[in-house]
Amino acid sequence: MKILIIDSHKGTEKGIPQNMHWQNSKILADYFGADLIWSYPSVNDNIKTGYEAIIFVHASHYSYIDTEWIVKNPDAKLFYITNEYNLGEPLILWKLAKQGRKYSVIANHPAKASKVVLKYTDKWDVLNLNALIYEPKKRKHTIDLFNDPRANCVYYGSFRKDRSAYFKKYLNDNVLLSTHAKNIDKFRKAGATSNIGGRINWAGEGLFPYKQSLYIEDEKTHTYYNYLANRFYEALNYDCVPIFSKECIGTVNLSGYKIPDEYFIENSNELKSKEGLMCLSDWHIMAQIEKNETLAKINQIINGAG
């Protein structure tokens, strides 16, 4: 099939974004041999036709991409791949859906948890999209983790309101917070007292400088299963040990991963006693199987066999 993948990331045409959903788009583009575009200034200079499938990954209302990409491909099957339950439709899809053009959703969460308007969709498949990011890395140089002045445990990412109670509970002197400067005030207002470092350099050492990665989840995820989050697979990529808050036990149990009790904490004071833990080889084996199965299933769905 001739496939176009449209990512919502805003950047430059020649730059390689560190953004996670862009990375998922690239993984899918490589797998399908598809064209990949995202929101860069020249994106509409050469709008192509003849696509049999157009796949949106993630959603943003701030995009340079013109609806003509869809209008000029009237026979293309439309898909929206999303692993964020708090996002609605991509703006282009919203405009065309209101004109009667249906699309299918591939998500890692049930439709009931989503903001997507279901009357404009014709199919909803639930897959482990988070496993797509699994790809173990090799260190570029040796790091002396024992003498590293940074915290042994890191929590990274943007502020999520649905985790506020856990930010207050776990983000203190025992955990380094890695986030964009624009998020700091929100974390502080939620009660987080952690020392704050720069954002993770995914193009460089990633999580290699850290022994542990704190895993906490949205309260909504306790009810609506989302598979293990991207941060679990990212931790495996760098053999950075995921340490789970006790509130995540339901998600872990549903995931099928055998994660012993010692990998869970009730407060961050317990982190020091966890420093000898390692990522288990069974986790790596299962993550690779999950990634392969997810790619195969997406292929079936796009080609109409799933």
pLDDT digits (tens, 9 = 90+) for 16-27: 777 778 889 999
Mean pLDDT of 191-213: 92
Contacts of 218 (CB under 8 A, 6+ apart): 160, 162, 163
Res. 14: pLDDT tops 90: no
- The residues spanned by each domain of the chain are 3-126, 133-286
Query: For residue 3, what pLDDT band results from cuts at 50, 70 and 90?
Result: very high
Task: For residue 44, report the phi and psi dihedrals to the nearest 5 degrees.
Answer: -100, 10
Percent of the chain clearing pLDDT 90 (strictly above): 72
Using DSSP's 3-state secondary structure scheme, residue 242 falls into strand
| Residue 195 structure tokens | 């020392």
Mean pLDDT of the chain: 91
pLDDT at 206: 92
Mean pLDDT of 97-108: 91
| Residue 296 structure tokens | 């195969």
Buried b (16+ CB within 10 A) or exposed e, 254-265: ebebebeeebbb
pLDDT at 72: 95
CB hemisphere CA count around 253 (13 angstroms):
7
pLDDT at 141: 61
Q: Whose CA is closest to 244, among 275, 266, 221? A: 266
Query: For residue 290, what pLDDT band results from cuts at 50, 70 and 90?
Result: very high
Res. 286: pLDDT tops 50: yes
Contacts of 119 (CB under 8 A, 6+ apart): none
Contacts of 30 (CB under 8 A, 6+ apart): none
pTM, to two decimals: 0.92
Whether domain 133-286 has CATH 3.40.190.10: no
Q: Is the dihedral of CA 233, 234, 235, 237 positive or negative?
A: positive
- Long-range contact pairs involving 140-149 (C-beta distance under 8 Å, separation at least 24): 140/204, 140/205, 143/205, 143/208, 143/209, 145/209, 145/210, 145/211, 148/209
Query: For residue 86, what pLDDT band results from cuts at 50, 70 and 90?
Result: confident
Query: For residue 259, what pLDDT band results from cuts at 50, 70 and 90?
Result: very high
pLDDT at 63: 76
Say what the alpha-carbon torsion angle 95, 98, 100, 105 is, to the nearest 10 degrees: 70
Res. 13: pLDDT tops 90: no
CA angle 41, 42, 44 (to 5 degrees): 110
pLDDT digits (tens, 9 = 90+) for 122-178: 999 999 999 999 999 987 665 554 555 445 899 999 999 999 999 999 999 999 999
pLDDT at 148: 52
Report which of residues 219 and 11 the model is more confident about.
219
Q: What is the DSSP letter of 220?
A: G
Q: Is residue 257 within 8 Å of 244, Cβ to Cβ?
A: no
pLDDT at 65: 84
Mean pLDDT of 277-305: 95
Q: Is residue 237 within 8 Å of 207, Cβ to Cβ?
A: yes
Using DSSP's 3-state secondary structure scheme, residue 19 falls into coil
Separation CA 176–CA 242 (nearest Å)? 14
Separation CA 36–CA 5 (nearest Å)? 5
Contacts of 3 (CB under 8 A, 6+ apart): 32, 33, 34, 35, 51, 52, 53, 54, 55, 302
